[in-house]
Amino acid sequence: MNTTEIKQTPLHAWHVAQGAKMAPFAGFSMPIQYSGIRQEHDAVRTRAGMFDVSHMGNFTVRGPGALAYLQRLTVNNVAKLAPGDVQYSALCRPDGGVIDDILVYCVAQNDYMVVVNAANITKDWNWCADHHKKWEVDCEMENVSEAISILSLQGPAAEAIFRAVAPDYEGTLKTYQCATLAVNGVSMLLGRTGYTGEDGFEFYPKSQDTEALWLALLAAGEAHGILPIGLAARDTLRLESGYSLYGHELTDSINPLEAGLAWITDLDSENKGDFIGRDALLTIRDVGPVRKLTGLLMEELAIPREGCPVLKDGKVVGAVTSGTLSPTLGKGIALALVEPSAAEHDTALAVEIRGAAKPAKAVGRAFYKRPKAQVQETVA
Pair 155, 25 in one domain: yes
Mean pLDDT of 347-361: 98
| Contact between residue 127 and residue 121 where contact means Cβ atoms under 8 Å apart | no
| Contact between residue 266 and residue 89 where contact means Cβ atoms under 8 Å apart | no
Confidence (pLDDT) at 95: 98
Pair 307, 192 in one domain: no
Q: CA–CA separation, 204 vs 209, rounded Å? A: 10
Confidence (pLDDT) at 5: 86
Pair 48, 190 in one domain: yes
| Contact between residue 158 and residue 151 where contact means Cβ atoms under 8 Å apart | no
State which of 176, 209, 240 marks the end of a domain.
240
pTM equals 0.95
Is 1 contained in some domain? no
Confidence of residue 374 (pLDDT cuts 50, 70, 90): low
- 119 secondary structure, DSSP code: G
pLDDT at 243 over 70: yes
Q: What is the CATH number of the domain that holds 41?
A: 3.30.1360.120
pLDDT tens for 36-71 read: 999 999 999 999 999 999 999 999 999 999 999 999
Q: CA–CA separation, 203 vs 165, rounded Å? A: 12
Share of the chain above pLDDT 70, in %: 97
Pair 227, 355 in one domain: no
pLDDT at 378 over 90: no
Pair 82, 231 in one domain: no
Give the burial string for 237-273 (b: 16+ CB within 10 Å, else e): bbbbbbbbbbbbbbeeebbbbbbbbbebbbeeeeebe
Mean pLDDT over the full length of the chain: 96
71 contacts: CB under 8 Å, gap ≥ 6: 77, 78, 79, 272, 273, 275
Confidence of residue 23 (pLDDT cuts 50, 70, 90): very high
Q: Quick one: the chain helix, strand, coil %, rounded to 5?
A: 30, 35, 40
State which of 232, 267, 289 marks the end of a domain.
289
| Domain with 139 in it | 55-143+255-289
325 contacts: CB under 8 Å, gap ≥ 6: 303, 331, 332, 333
Pair 139, 59 in one domain: yes
Pair 297, 346 in one domain: yes
Pair 263, 196 in one domain: no
Confidence of residue 373 (pLDDT cuts 50, 70, 90): low
Give the residue with greater pLDDT, 375 vs 24: 24
Is 265 contained in some domain? yes
Q: What is the CATH number of the domain that holds 281?
A: 3.30.70.1400
Is 38 contained in some domain? yes
Q: CA–CA separation, 93 vs 280, rounded Å? A: 9
Considering only CA atoms, give the Rg of the chain.
Answer: 21
| Contact between residue 336 and residue 319 where contact means Cβ atoms under 8 Å apart | yes
Is 285 contained in some domain? yes
Is 106 contained in some domain? yes
Is 376 contained in some domain? no
Q: CA–CA separation, 90 vs 157, rounded Å? A: 30
pLDDT at 119 over 80: yes
Pair 59, 139 in one domain: yes
Total length of the chain? 380
Number of domains in the chain: 3
Confidence of residue 4 (pLDDT cuts 50, 70, 90): low
Pair 96, 24 in one domain: no
How does strand 7-8 pair with strand 28-33?
parallel
Is 173 contained in some domain? yes
Pair 203, 96 in one domain: no
Confidence (pLDDT) at 19: 98
Q: What is the CATH number of the domain that holds 305?
A: 2.40.30.110
Pair 196, 210 in one domain: yes
Confidence (pLDDT) at 1: 38
Q: CA–CA separation, 362 vs 26, rounded Å? A: 31
Is 111 contained in some domain? yes
